[in-house]
Amino acid sequence: MPALAGEIAIVTGAGRGFGRAIAERLASEGAAVALIARNRAQLDEAVAGIRQAGGKAIALCADVTDPADVDRAVSQAEAELGAPSILINNAGVPGPIGPIWELDMDAWWAAQQVHIRAPMLFLRRLLPGMVERDRGRIVIVSAIAARKVAPYLSAYCTGKIAQNRIVEEAAAELADTSVKIFAIDPGFVFTSLARDTMNAPEAQKWLPGMVARLKDVSDGAETAAGLARCAQRCLDLVSGRYDSLSGRYLEIPDDLDAIVASLSA
């Protein structure tokens, strides 16, 4: 039997890159998946691929920072697929990029709407049902920027730090339930978003080292391998095997089995 047979998953930012790879992997393991993003064409392409491979998926266009859109998308997922038992919060933005004193503050705050407001909206909408059913697993796709000082990336770093703390807070509040939540770094992969970032004039001006590194990892085979590693990590965490790690931020090189073993040593 597939590992996720009977599970209902929601994946945000699912039209391309990490989100699409995660949605495809969850569907391949038997989950029915609601893919959420703003780009209808990308969503339709992703859903068509999943269905062609024998999986079950639906496309839901929504702005993840808008409460009404989030409620509508989740309600539609519930109506068409059933009560969600998995949430992968993957939607993200890389910018704005540059010195704090030169940034457009509206753009900086808009980034926090995606990093912070969006996962909070989904948690607020989904957790009551998960807690009532005493069943659910959530993965917030954070980044290594959450634990690093990266000049000229204040919006991104601040948002990712906040995501990790939201996961810690939620895990503490969910401690007496079977609902588990994790934060992950997806890895350094040349996605479409990475390409957009690499080509942005502000990135080329303020982050030449990162741009050069992105060029070094732009090989198609390495991109596919990196996406697969992230999707596998999400699958591992929503499988239930690592529930004792709820509340933690985890990176791709982390040995989950070793961490679990250390907890009982």
Q: Which of 160, 242, 246, 249 is catalytic?
A: 160
Does residue 180 carry a catalytic annotation? Answer: no
Whether 166 and 87 have beta carbons less than 8 Å apart is answered as no
Distance CA 234, CA 19 (A): 10
Instruction: Give the length of the chain.
Output: 265
Q: Computed over its alpha carbons, how large is the radius of gyration of the chain?
A: 18
Question: What are 117's two structure tokens?
Answer: 């407001």
Does residue 249 carry a catalytic annotation? Answer: no
Whether 174 and 131 have beta carbons less than 8 Å apart is answered as yes
Whether 236 and 259 have beta carbons less than 8 Å apart is answered as no
Q: Which of 28, 85, 142, 154 is catalytic?
A: 142
Distance CA 213, CA 217 (A): 7
DSSP 8-state assignment for residue 113: I
In this structure, the number of other CB atoms found within 10 A of the CB of residue 240 comes to 13
Amino acid at 100: I
Does residue 142 carry a catalytic annotation? Answer: yes
Q: Which of 28, 85, 152, 156 is catalytic?
A: 156
Q: Which residues of 85-111 are buried (b: 16+ CB within 10 A; e: fewer)?
A: bbbbbbbbbbbbbbeeeebeeeebebb
Distance CA 190, CA 17 (A): 9
Residues annotated as catalytic are: 142, 156, 160
